[in-house]
Chain A
Amino acid sequence: MNQLAALIRVFSYLSILTVGGGLAAFPEMKHLTVDVHQWLNFEQLIHLYSMGQVAPGPNMMMIVVIGQWAAGVPGALVVLIAFFGPTAVLALLIGRLWKHLEKWPWRTSIERGLSPVSIGLLLAGCLSLARGAVTGWMTALIAAAVLLILLLTRLNPAWLVLAGAVIGGLAFGPVKL
């Protein structure tokens, strides 16, 4: 019961931080789920988060795993409601208002002002994640190669992540070539 309450508190708080994308909440997510509540370790969080990036649909569905590990199926459901509920209600209410505020001059100011801040939050999330994921020259090489290919081509990232899995398995796996 205590776990469920903690899951609700943590994920409804993280929900509000996802300005620009789920990544914006990553530094706080690491702090709360790994350091404070110890529902998983940093390595597991990075693994789940990375798999969640290529899973279809919204890219934060990995939160159901944290809920499930902490408190079973009820945990998974509670986490979903806590994480998607508050922002859905906000999007609904503000969305309705926003559509009527087309001529309000501050609307453009808010959109223009928040966009660099949200990019900054995404980059900060990226740095926090990279500290756990880029641990040597091989992982740095994989990350750089994926970045370049995605900036230069229109290849579906899922293939590159799959290639990353194969290279990782070969480079760091138990069977040495």
Chain B
Amino acid sequence: MSDLVAKTALAAPTTAAPDQDISILSIFLEFLFIGATSFGGGVVAYLRDGLVDKRGWLSDQEFVEYLAISQSLPGLNATNMAVLVGDTLRGYLGAITALIAICLPGGLLMFAVGIAYHQSGDNPLVTAALKGVAAAAIGLILATTIKLGKKSLAHVYDLVFVALTVYGVDRLHQSVPRVLVVVGIIAILWYRPRKTKGTTQ
């Protein structure tokens, strides 16, 4: 615990005045590299490797904290992380640089894929292969969701909120924002701050 306090105290001035040694160019190159190599989804793992292990720009603890913020906000985890980390390193310019760099390789690739698909999308062999790709993708996203759930769902009540959300969107065909607001507010109130008995603050 005292370790944690010392670490936070040490980290505080660094966050307030970003390290000038980290240039916009190196931010651009690192996020471009992550954006170009993270095949197969799971870009968060690549972000951790690059930013924590390779570059040492963030501590593991900061990384987990930014990830928690990214997951609570709308937006993809990968792009929210890019914005948060870029901002911490070099302010607004760092944020926009990291965002563009991480999107650039995949965006160009999908642009090319879109043109190729438009031309040969009705080829029977391509359609057949893509049927297999789509089925495999279901397995992939389900695995990702289950892994995420294992990490973030701690209580039986959590499963109730998961079920309510699925029921609202999938069965009742309610719009996502409506379900998000209604179930979200119930869940937040359920986990509202409570005073622990016997502690005086």
Asked whether A and B interact, the reply is yes
Complex contacts, A57 vs chain B, CB 8 Å: 34-36, 38, 43, 78, 102-107
Question: Is A4 an interface residue, CB under 8 A from the partner?
Answer: no
How long is the Cα–Cα vector from A96 to B94 in the complex, in angstroms? Answer: 14
CB contact list, A157-177 vs B, under 8 A: 157-161, 163-175
- Residue of chain B at shortest CB distance from A135: B131
Question: Would you list 16 pairs from A and B whose C-beta atoms are within 8 A, ordered by A residue?
Answer: A47-B133, A55-B39, A56-B36, A56-B109, A87-B79, A94-B73, A95-B83, A110-B72, A116-B157, A119-B153, A119-B158, A122-B145, A132-B134, A133-B134, A157-B140, A169-B129
Question: Is B9 an interface residue, CB under 8 A from the partner?
Answer: no
B contacts, CB < 8 Å to A = 15, 34-43, 66, 68-80, 83-84, 87, 92, 95-96, 99, 102-107, 109-111, 113-115, 117-118, 121, 124-125, 127-143, 145-149, 152-154, 157-166, 169-170, 175-177, 179-180, 183-184, 186-193
Contact B83 A123 (CB under 8 A): no
How long is the Cα–Cα vector from A90 to B133 in the complex, in angstroms? Answer: 34
Contact A106 B74 (CB under 8 A): no
Question: Is A82 an interface residue, CB under 8 A from the partner?
Answer: no
Contact B140 A161 (CB under 8 A): yes
Question: Is A62 an interface residue, CB under 8 A from the partner?
Answer: yes
Instruction: Pick the residue among A20, A92, A157, A160 that contacts B95 (CB under 8 A).
Output: A92
Asked if A96 meets B87 with Cβ closer than 8 Å, knowing A127-B166, A168-B129, the reply is yes
Complex contacts, B79 vs chain A, CB 8 Å: 58, 84, 87-88, 91
Complex contacts, B149 vs chain A, CB 8 Å: 119
Asked if A115 meets B110 with Cβ closer than 8 Å, knowing A17-B177, A61-B103, A171-B128, the reply is no
CB contact list, A91-121 vs B, under 8 A: 91-92, 94-96, 98-99, 105-106, 108-121
Contact B135 A95 (CB under 8 A): no
A contacts with B, residue count (CB < 8 A): 110
Instruction: Pick the residue among A80, A92, A166 that contacts B83 (CB under 8 A).
Output: A92
Asked if A50 meets B103 with Cβ closer than 8 Å, knowing A57-B38, A108-B191, the reply is no
Q: Which of B35, B149, B160 has the most CB of A within 10 A?
A: B149
Complex contacts, B42 vs chain A, CB 8 Å: 157
How long is the Cα–Cα vector from A54 to B138 in the complex, in angstroms? Answer: 12
Question: Is A34 an interface residue, CB under 8 A from the partner?
Answer: no
- Residue of chain A at shortest CB distance from B96: A88
Give the 4 A-B CB pairs with smallest separation, nearest first.
A168-B132, A120-B165, A146-B139, A164-B136
Contact A147 B143 (CB under 8 A): yes
- Residue of chain A at shortest CB distance from B46: A56
Question: Is A130 an interface residue, CB under 8 A from the partner?
Answer: yes
Complex contacts, B187 vs chain A, CB 8 Å: 112-114, 116-117
How long is the Cα–Cα vector from A25 to B179 in the complex, in angstroms? Answer: 12
- Residue of chain B at shortest CB distance from A161: B136
Contact A22 B76 (CB under 8 A): yes
Task: Give 1 or 0 for each of A62-97: 1 = CB within 8 Å of chain B CB.
Answer: 101100110000001000100010111011101110
Contact B40 A113 (CB under 8 A): no
Contact A109 B191 (CB under 8 A): yes
Contact A58 B103 (CB under 8 A): yes
Q: Which of A25, A27, A112, A128 has the most CB of B within 10 A?
A: A112
Instruction: Pick the residue among A19, A96, A150, A157 that contacts B180 (CB under 8 A).
Output: A19
